[in-house]
Amino acid sequence: MFAEYLTRGVKAGLVAGLVFGLFMAVVANPLVVYADELNHAAVEESGHSHEAESAHSHDSEGTHSHESGDSHAGEGGGHHDSAVSMAVTKAVSVAAGGLWGVVLGGAFFGVAFFFLEPAIPGPDAAKSYLMGLAGFVTVSGAPWLVLPPVAPGAEQSLSAATRLPLYAGMMLAGALACLSAGYVYTRLRESSGPVPAVVGAAVPFALLAVLAVFAPENAVHGALSPTLETGLTGLFAFGQVLLWLVLAAAHARFRPSSDSESDSAIPTAGRDSAPMAD
């Protein structure tokens, strides 16, 4: 039984990981490279401005003209190397995305879903999407309340030694919020109905937002324009939403046919409440 759940989660993770890897290779990585070029250009411009006074000598001019000729001679080879490097980068992005999806699929939709499925409300397909939502909140949503994604080259006020445990702590808080929301929803739905259950389930997430208020602030400074920084942040967030959405959809699609038949007969039946044969 456990092997079936793990296999289903890994298959869903592979599909979602490949989609995420293609998204990174085709859309995200070129924008990141463009942002890096802007950062390097800003740094070089700043460095050249400090050296402008000493750059007017005749010896300096001769050196620059000689280097310019050398750069033209190697320009053709540089374009070829750049094309090969870009192809390798895209292939690595797709492979890394597939591996990351397999890890998430196996951990959340394999191991965690095996133990938590009876406690997740709704039919099997809805459980897959709720699990995807919980995974997004745990891995990305909750930590982003304190440490949102930043653009390439941006400087952060908090050190890495501070950010890593802070991120891990918010992941733990996000997981506890999801578990608490599921527990509250189940208890209130049985006693008070669906509307109070939904309201009660939202309370742990509100407490999660309150917790983020007391976290240390991480000021971010970068050379990119605010518009480009906002666009890159939104792109990173969209990539994570896409990953978890495809994970949930693939997991729901890969459910065994026997589960589909039991869902049509008993919509709320879980793994432990399957009907016994006569």
Residue 222: per-residue pLDDT: 78
Coil vs helix vs strand at 156? strand
- Picking from 130, 135, 101, 129, the residue whose alpha carbon sits closest to that of residue 248 is 129
**Three-state DSSP class for 155?**
strand
Predicted pLDDT of residue 85: 76
Longest C-alpha distance within the chain, in Å?
99
State the pLDDT at residue 272: 46
Of residues 75 and 13, which shows the higher confidence score? 13
The residue that leads in pLDDT, 73 or 158, is 158
Distance CA 12, CA 270 (A): 20
Q: Is the pLDDT of residue 64 over 50?
A: no
pLDDT value at residue 44: 66
pLDDT band at 60 (very low <50, low <70, confident <90, very high): very low
| pTM beyond cutoff 0.85 | no
Which has the higher per-residue pLDDT, 154 or 192?
192
Share of the chain above pLDDT 90, in %: 57
Contacts of 278 (CB under 8 A, 6+ apart): none
Q: 77 or 134: which carries more pLDDT confidence?
A: 134
| Rounded distance between C-alpha atoms, residue 86 and residue 134, angstroms | 35
Give the chain's length.
278
Q: Write the CB contacts of 240 (distance below 8 Å, at least 6 apart in sequence).
A: 136, 139, 140
Measured torsion, CA atoms of residues 130, 136, 138, 139, in degrees rounded to the nearest 10: 150
**How far, in Å, CA of 123 to CA of 270, rounded?**
8
Dihedral sign computed on CA atoms, order 7, 12, 15, 21: negative
Residue 152's pLDDT band (cuts 50, 70, 90)? confident
Q: Of 68-72, 138-142, 174-178, 218-222, where does mean pLDDT reach its minimum?
A: 68-72
CB 98 within 8 A of CB 25: no
Tokens representing 38 are 């802007």
262: three-class secondary structure by DSSP: helix
Between residues 267 and 110, which one has the greater pLDDT? 110
**pLDDT score recorded for residue 10:** 97
Structure tokens that stand for 77 in this block: 């080879």
